[in-house]
């Protein structure tokens, strides 16, 4: 220390100014790194406001959130199903009363930048992103306040092997702040996934339904008697996962289940059934 001071004092003025300049430069760099961590994770644009969100305003406002003419029950956008019976405002699945949940809603479409934002949430556990999505989902709930009244918030659980691999359930990242905003209790250990998803990467529509049939169960001691459940997941594709969880909750005595996800995937149950396209692993958990 003394040596360093001595050395400093003995330095020529220009060298000292230079080292002060260098120190300032490093310090301001460090401050910048704290306030502006990096560029936007989606478009690389420099983040200019002091938010902890790793996505810029422009990208946030580009999320596809319009769900035109969607099904009154499951929220399926009419554009996903070329034979959507517009006149009665229910998709064909809902006409056949396929789902065990009362209704399902999503913030946006699982397309473009929203896919990448959800992947950040899912694999990097970016908490400010979770809070941001929680705010958007609160707005979705408030929009249909009366139909979306609930007593408790429950996330779709991961199988314990998957939970161990990932270290967290991505639904908790936005589920906890959402429950806080809605002033509802958050119950992440009420349900469990007793059967893991098949290892196969791509699942056809019928395989998706088969993969989750009876795959969820109540944990011992979990009580949902007469409760209205707000069931959360990140992405809804066929609705099979939300349906399987809803059945387990209803069988345990829940009064009703409402589904809520960040995004609705384009290749819906209807779409793949009518076109026979292979499905990707979007709601792979
Ligand atoms: Zn951006
Ligand atoms: Zn529907």
The secondary structure of 215-272 as a DSSP string is: -EEEPTT---TTPEEEEEEEEESSSHHHHHHHHHHHHTT-SEEEEEEEEEESS-HHHH
Q: Average pLDDT of the chain? A: 82
Q: E strands along 47-178, which residues?
A: 103-110, 152-155
Of 55-64, 88-97, 150-159, the range with the lowest mean pLDDT is 88-97
* Residue 211 pLDDT greater than 70, yes or no: yes
Which ligand has an atom closest to residue 62 CA?
Answer: 1
Taking residues 199-214, report their average pLDDT.
80
pLDDT, position 256: 97
- Where in the chain are the domains? 2-35, 64-275
pLDDT in tens, 93-148: 898 888 999 999 999 999 999 999 999 999 999 999 999 999 999 999 999 999 99
* Residue 165 pLDDT greater than 70, yes or no: yes
Task: Give me ligand 2 centre to Cα 37, in Å.
Answer: 42
Burial letters for 133-154: b for 16+ Cβ neighbours within 10 Å, e otherwise? Answer: bbebbbebbeeeeeebebebbb
* Residue 39 pLDDT greater than 50, yes or no: yes
pLDDT in tens, 49-69: 767 899 999 999 999 997 777
Taking residues 161-181, report their average pLDDT.
95
Taking residues 28-32, report their average pLDDT.
50
Task: Give me ligand 1 centre to Cα 42, in Å.
Answer: 5
**CA neighbours within 13 Å on the CB side: how many for 169?**
22
C-beta of residue 260 within 8 angstroms of C-beta of residue 137? yes
Instruction: Name the H helices within 125-239.
Output: 127-143, 160-166, 170-182, 205-212
Taking residues 192-211, report their average pLDDT.
81
Strand partners, 168: none
Crossing angle, helix 127-143 and helix 170-182, to 10 degrees? Answer: 50
CATH for the stretch 64-275? 3.40.50.2020
Task: Give me ligand 1 centre to Cα 283, in Å.
Answer: 25
Name the band, by pLDDT with cuts 50, 70 and 90, for residue 70. Answer: confident
Q: How far apart are CA 120 and CA 228, in angstroms?
A: 30
Taking residues 238-255, report their average pLDDT.
96
Which ligand has an atom closest to residue 45 CA?
Answer: 1
Phi and psi for 262 in degrees, rounded to 5? -65, -45
Which ligand has an atom closest to residue 56 CA?
Answer: 1
C-beta of residue 246 within 8 angstroms of C-beta of residue 231? yes
Task: Give me ligand 2 centre to Cα 18, in Å.
Answer: 68
Crossing angle, helix 205-212 and helix 240-251, to 10 degrees? Answer: 30
Name the band, by pLDDT with cuts 50, 70 and 90, for residue 3. Answer: very low
- Torsion angle of C-alpha atoms 55, 61, 62, 67, degrees rounded to 10: 130
Name the band, by pLDDT with cuts 50, 70 and 90, for residue 278. Answer: very low
* Residue 10 pLDDT greater than 50, yes or no: no
Taking residues 176-196, report their average pLDDT.
95
Task: Give me ligand 1 centre to Cα 57, in Å.
Answer: 7
pLDDT in tens, 225-245: 999 999 999 999 999 999 999
**What is the pairing mode between strands 256-265 and 191-193?**
unpaired
- Hey, is 39 helix, strand or coil? strand
Name the band, by pLDDT with cuts 50, 70 and 90, for residue 217. Answer: very high
- With residue 15 as reference, give the H or E element that holds it: helix 13-35
Give me 150's structure tokens.
Answer: 């609930």
C-beta of residue 73 within 8 angstroms of C-beta of residue 90? yes
C-beta of residue 99 within 8 angstroms of C-beta of residue 231? no
User: Who surrounds ion ligand 1 at CB < 5 A?
Assistant: 40, 42-43, 45, 56, 59
Maximum average pLDDT range among 29-38, 49-58, 78-87, 182-191: 182-191
| Percentage of the chain exceeding pLDDT 70 | 77
Q: How far apart are CA 151 and CA 228, in angstroms?
A: 5
Cβ count within 10 A of residue 185: 11
Name the band, by pLDDT with cuts 50, 70 and 90, for residue 267. Answer: low
* Residue 277 pLDDT greater than 50, yes or no: no
pTM above 0.75, yes or no: yes
Give me 241's structure tokens.
Answer: 């996962």
């Amino acid at each position: 220390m003394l040596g360093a001071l001595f050395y400093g004092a003995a330095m020529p003025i220009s060298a000292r100014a230079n080292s002060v300049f260098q120190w300032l430069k490093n310090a301001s760099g460090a401050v910048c790194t704290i306030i502006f961590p990096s560029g936007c994770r989606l478009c690389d644009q420099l983040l200019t406001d002091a938010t902890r969100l790793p996505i810029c305003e422009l990208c946030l406002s580009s999320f596809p959130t319009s769900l035109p003419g969607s099904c009154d029950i499951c929220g399926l956008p009419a554009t996903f199903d070329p034979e959507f019976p517009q006149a009665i405002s229910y998709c064909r699945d809902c006409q056949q009363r396929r789902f065990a949940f009362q209704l399902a809603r999503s913030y946006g479409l699982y397309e473009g930048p929203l896919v990448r934002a959800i992947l950040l949430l899912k694999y990097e556990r970016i908490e400010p992103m979770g809070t941001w999505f929680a705010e958007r989902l609160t707005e979705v709930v408030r929009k249909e306040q009366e139909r979306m009244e609930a007593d408790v918030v429950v996330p779709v659980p991961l199988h314990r092997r998957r939970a161990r691999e990932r270290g967290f359930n991505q639904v908790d990242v936005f589920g906890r702040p959402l429950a806080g905003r809605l002033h509802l209790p958050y119950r992440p250990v009420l349900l469990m996934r007793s059967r893991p998803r098949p290892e196969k990467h791509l699942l056809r529509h019928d395989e998706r339904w088969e993969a989750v049939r009876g795959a969820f169960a109540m944990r011992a001691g979990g009580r949902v008697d007469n409760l209205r459940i707000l069931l959360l997941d990140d992405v809804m594709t066929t609705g099979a996962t939300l349906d399987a969880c809803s059945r387990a909750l209803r069988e345990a005595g829940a009064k009703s289940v409402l589904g809520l996800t960040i995004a609705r995937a384009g290749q819906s149950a209807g779409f793949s059934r009518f076109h026979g396209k292979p499905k990707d692993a979007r709601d792979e958990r």
